[in-house]
Amino acid sequence: MRLSADRERCVGAGQCVLTEDTVFGQDETDGRVRLRTETPDAELAENLRFAVTICPAQALELTED
Count of domains observed in the chain: 1
pLDDT at 65 over 90: no
Which range marks the domain in which residue 39 is found?
A: 2-63
Q: Tens digit of pLDDT for each residue in 19-54?
A: 999 999 999 999 999 999 999 999 999 999 999 999
Write down the pLDDT at residue 16: 98
**In this structure, what are the phi and psi dihedrals at residue 12, rounded to the nearest 5 degrees?**
75, 25
CATH number at residue 52: 3.30.70.20
pLDDT at 17 over 90: yes
Instruction: Output the CA angle 45-48-52, nearest 5 degrees.
Output: 135
**In this structure, what are the phi and psi dihedrals at residue 18, rounded to the nearest 5 degrees?**
-65, -30
The DSSP element (H or E) to which 49 belongs, if any, is helix 45-54
Phi/psi region, residue 2 (left: phi>0; alpha: psi -120 to 50; beta: rest), is beta
